[in-house]
């Protein structure tokens, strides 16, 4: 049997935030769940054909004190390494270490373009801190004349942040982000936890999911985001008329 060329490993099994749509918040408090560095190396060595490695699970990878050593170990083997992060556990020194480690892609979770909406969703995070860390990464790349890591923004689309999409496109451009991905909130935790916790978890995504939003609103917002992406920041007349109708009637179109 041929061994896989793509491998995903979870180096950290806990998170430093309590995001409203994430199942990690329902876990019981446990000691730090850090994979030992030696165990990581032994595990990766069992996949001689691997070309791509993604370091991510339900935890925050950058909490691991030897995370960039893991990246460096894999990158030195010619493996393309990527990770997902909320980018709150970064310092100026670690931003430079991130660039030097050989990390290929950094997927940053950023669900809104202003503090109030972002901090409502990502409980325990500070919007200004994430932007500062993005700035440090860009500065480190410039200082070291490096093209990597490629920075990509990832947003979980919910009713609470849907109107943020056009502003997120502008923010991505300002911080020289390679791409912006919008994901649908699709968790279903029923049957995976004890009955009380499962019921609580099941109610959360249903109350925030975009399935309850009207299709016209989705279409309007995504068209506005597309317009911003292509440099047409001024809203077309149809958007102004739509917003005027909504204000007059008090009904979401």
One-character DSSP codes across 77-135: TT-EEEEEE-S-S--HHHHHHHHHHT--EEEEE---SSHHHHHHHSTT--HHHHHHHHH
pLDDT at 105: 98
- Taking only the tens place, the pLDDT of each residue in 165-215 is 889 989 999 999 999 988 877 655 444 444 444 445 445 555 555 554 445
Is the pLDDT reported for residue 19 higher than 90? no
Provide the residue ranges of all domains of the chain, joining segments of one domain with +: 6-187
Phi, psi of 149 (to 5 degrees): -75, 145
Lowest-pLDDT choice from 28-37, 118-127, 225-234, 236-245: 236-245
pLDDT at 142: 97
Compare 113 and 200 and report the one with higher pLDDT: 113
Tell me the pLDDT band of 124, cut-offs 50, 70 and 90: very high
Nearest to 53 by CA among 108, 1, 102: 102
Tell me the pLDDT band of 82, cut-offs 50, 70 and 90: very high
Compare 215 and 114 and report the one with higher pLDDT: 114
pLDDT at 160: 83
Looking at residues 82-86, what average pLDDT do you find? 97
Residue 62: count other Cβ atoms within 10 Å of its Cβ. 24
Is the pLDDT reported for residue 49 higher than 90? yes
Between vectors from CA 159 to CA 58 and to CA 224, what angle results, nearest 5°?
110
- Which fold would CATH assign to domain 6-187? TIM Barrel (3.20.20)
Q: Is 36 exposed, middle or buried (0-12, 13-18, 19+ CB in 10 A)?
A: exposed
């Amino acid at each position: 049997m041929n061994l896989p060329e793509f491998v995903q490993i979870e180096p950290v099994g806990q998170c430093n935030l309590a995001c409203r749509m994430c199942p990690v918040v329902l876990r019981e408090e446990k000691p730090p769940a850090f994979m030992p560095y030696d165990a990581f190396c032994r595990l990766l060595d069992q996949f001689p054909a691997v070309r791509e490695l993604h370091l991510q699970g339900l935890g925050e990878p950058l909490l691991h004190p030897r995370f960039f050593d893991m990246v460096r170990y894999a990158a030195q083997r010619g493996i393309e390494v990527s990770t997902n992060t909320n980018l709150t556990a970064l310092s100026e020194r670690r931003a430079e270490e991130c660039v030097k480690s050989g990390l290929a892609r950094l997927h940053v979770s950023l669900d809104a373009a202003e503090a109030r909406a972002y901090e409502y969703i990502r409980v325990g995070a500070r919007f200004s801190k994430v932007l500062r860390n993005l700035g440090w990464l860009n500065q480190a790349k410039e200082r070291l004349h490096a093209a990597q890591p490629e920075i990509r923004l990832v947003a979980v689309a919910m009713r609470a942040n849907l109107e943020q999409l056009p502003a997120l496109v502008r923010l991505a451009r300002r911080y020289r982000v390679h791409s912006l991905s919008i994901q649908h909130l699709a968790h279903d935790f029923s049957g995976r936890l004890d009955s009380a916790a499962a019921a609580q978890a099941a109610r959360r995504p249903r109350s925030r999911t975009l399935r309850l939003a009207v299709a016209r609103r989705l279409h309007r917002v995504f068209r506005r985001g597309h317009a911003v992406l292509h440099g047409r920041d001024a809203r077309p007349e149809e958007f102004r008329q739509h917003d005027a109708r909504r204000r007059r009637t008090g009904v979401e179109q």
